[in-house]
Chains A and B, each alone.
Chain A
Amino acid sequence: MSDQQNQPALPVATRLHPRNNAGAIQVIINGKQVSACRGETVAVALLLSGRRIFTQASRYNLNRTLFCGMGVCHQCLVTVDGVRDVRACMTKIRPGMKIETRFKMEHSYETS
């Protein structure tokens, strides 16, 4: 997999309406400032910044991202302001919020 963390590909997801500049805020995704819109969720900000993959698990290189979009499937878990396992689809962004994707899942019980 390419270094998705630093060089997001062109976003597959797109905004339908021009962004309302009055609501523009900055969040920090993997250490880089990204412009987003007040009211959006972490998942929306990540998708619009070009990240299709939110987390990569160590086993099978399973890529996780937004799936159900409504807080049920827990596939979009990311780290927000240092707190692990936050549902990206259910968490609203705040100015200056630090969002981290792609931590390696550490499953200590996995020996195989």
Chain B
Amino acid sequence: MKQVDVAIIGGGPAGMTAAIELAAGGAKLSVIDAYPQLGGHYFKQSPKELMQQEADVTDGRQAEYRSLVNAVDKKNIEILSDTAVWSIFLNEEGTIEGQNNGRPDKATGFTLHLQGPHDVASLQARYLLLAPGAYDRPMAFPGWHLPGVITPGGAQMLLKGYGILPGKRVLVAGSGPLLLAVGAGLAEAGAEVVAVLDAASMWDGAFKIPAVFWGQKERVKDAWKYWSTLKRKQIPLLFGHAIFRALGEDAVTAAVYGRVDAQGRPIKQSEMVVEVDTICVALGFLPNLALTRHLECEHTYNATLDTFYPRYADTMETTVPNVFVAGDVTGVGGKDMSKLQGRAAGLSILGKLGYLSGEQVKSRLQPLQTGFQREERFIRMLQDRLQARPGLFEVIDDDTFICSCEMVTAGRIKAAIDDGAQDIRGVKLRTRCGMGACQGRYCESNVAHLISQATNRPRETVGTMSIRPPLIPILAGNILE
């Protein structure tokens, strides 16, 4: 079986930066990425076959991406693209042979099982760096299961990755900075964007944190660019607004939206109906916890964002020894935070491998601190804008699907709670909610809220979904191999 020092899972900004750092330090590594091209969602790239022309070098983001890719290429880092990890096991003691500071050494390490076009079905690694990123946090409302409702991330993927316009008349709604980018992107590409709705008020977070925009030239420039596109195309950007319902038989034909108060409670009198064929909606992001949960890392609950995150030390190591994390899986940090964390994790692992001394690791981590502080200020502002607004759940009626995999409605979940279910486990046993193909990735946040509201208990006490291998549906034959 193939053996490496480090397996990096996720080839976005965090994974790429870590890979460059590790390879420069002499570590042998593999990067496992689910997509055809490195870059993650931030640098979303087209598959090679679909590239239209040479990348636009005047685009700052493309230039940054090119320099990262060039560095990865130069280091001859093995990239397993289009590949999914469907399980990871802790090896028995002393399974992996390797080098520690030039001396032969045996370690415990991990065995990863992969599914992809490469000839590598499994891989052994002494250290793991998990950089699986985040995905759109679903917002449940009547009609959200209708074809035509997609996530902003999904829309970006179609638009930037495949050159596809997902719809002709589009409503963009939810909360978070991605909405602005998606609204502007769709409009530039020729869609009629009827409005961009953000549940946050315009100034949420902006003035509470001193010097929040200090050193954020790139973010301010991006926001300005998106905002001017919306302005030029006369697309209303409505703060303190949210979607109430999606209408349609087989697919979306219209959306009902209106004003919400600071808690997200819908203000019924402000209701408007607009004809659309597509609705892009999400409430910020959820970290992709499939791997950290599968490996039984400890998680902590962030009440502002209503999300769990893996616990990690300054070295980026989780509570499971030799498992490191970096990037948006640790919070909604964005690209710069991801790169900083990727570097920090890379340096720490080099220290563990013996390629750097403890002193060297310390002195190289030190200069990253200013960056970390700058990003943390910004993240506090983002948290304010993305904070959980319990009132947004008021639009959910008994027929609203909560778990689409197993087709469980809010009404059935309420019935399960009346029947005595006190937590996610209880609801799961009675309704199969969260037991479908997505393993609860897309219903957990909504189910948890419904339970905590109905039982009057804090969110963190009602439990979580458990994710088990295979993490994605695979052929039974692959398990036997």
Contact = CB atoms under 8 A, between A and B. Distances in A.
Chain A interface helix/strand/loop/mixed: loop
Given A40-B50, A44-B164, A77-B437, A85 B151 contact: no
A37 interface: yes
B472 A70 contact: no
Contacts of A64: 147, 404
Chain B interface helix/strand/loop/mixed: loop
Interface stretch (B165-173, B226-234, B323-331, B345-353): B165-173
A5 interface: no
A38 B162 CA distance: 11
A75 interface: yes
B251 A74 contact: no
Given A62-B404, A63-B146, A75-B404, A12 B154 contact: no
B166 A71 contact: no
A90 interface: yes
Contacts of B135: 68, 70, 72
B148 A38 contact: no
B250 A83 contact: no
Contacts, number: 148
Interface string B435-457: 01110011000000000000000
B277 interface: yes
Nearest to A58: B407
Contact of B136 (A53, A57, A68, A86): A68
Assign chain A's interface to a size class.
Answer: 35 or more
Given A52-B251, A63-B250, A70-B41, A92 B84 contact: no
A8 interface: no
Contacts of B475: 83
Nearest to B399: A60
Interface string A11-52: 011111100100100000000000001111100100110001
Contacts of B165: 13-16
A37 B150 contact: no
Contact of A39 (B36, B164, B278): B36
Contacts of B472: 71, 74, 87
A15 B163 contact: yes
Interface residues of B, number: 56
Given A16-B165, A62-B145, A74-B438, A39 B151 contact: no
Contacts of A4: 250
A69 B438 contact: no
Given A68-B151, A68-B154, A74-B436, A40 B162 contact: yes
Q: Which of B41, B149, B250, B441 has the most CB of A within 10 A?
A: B250
B87 interface: no
B47 A39 contact: yes
Given A62-B404, A71-B84, A15 B437 contact: no
B155 A69 contact: yes
Contact of A38 (B49, B145, B401, B407): B49
Contacts of A16: 159, 163-165, 189-190
Contacts of B49: 23, 37-39
A62 B157 contact: no
Q: Which of B157, B162, B250 has the most CB of A within 10 A?
A: B162
Nearest to A23: B49
B441 A72 contact: yes
A67 B150 contact: yes
Interface of A: 1-2, 4, 12-17, 20, 23, 37-41, 44, 47-48, 52-53, 57, 59-60, 62-75, 77, 83, 85-87, 89-90, 92, 109
Given A14-B168, A63-B146, A87-B472, 11 more contacts: A12-B277, A13-B165, A39-B46, A39-B48, A52-B250, A57-B407, A62-B407, A68-B135, A70-B157, A74-B473, A85-B437
7 contacts: A16-B165, A39-B47, A62-B145, A63-B146, A69-B158, A71-B472, A109-B432
**Sorted from nearest, which 8 A-B pairs have the closest CB atoms?**
A69-B154, A39-B49, A74-B437, A39-B47, A65-B147, A74-B438, A69-B157, A85-B473
Interface of B: 34, 36, 41, 46-50, 52, 82, 84, 135-136, 138, 145-151, 153-159, 162-168, 189-190, 249-251, 277-278, 288, 401, 404-405, 407, 432, 436-438, 441-442, 472-473, 475
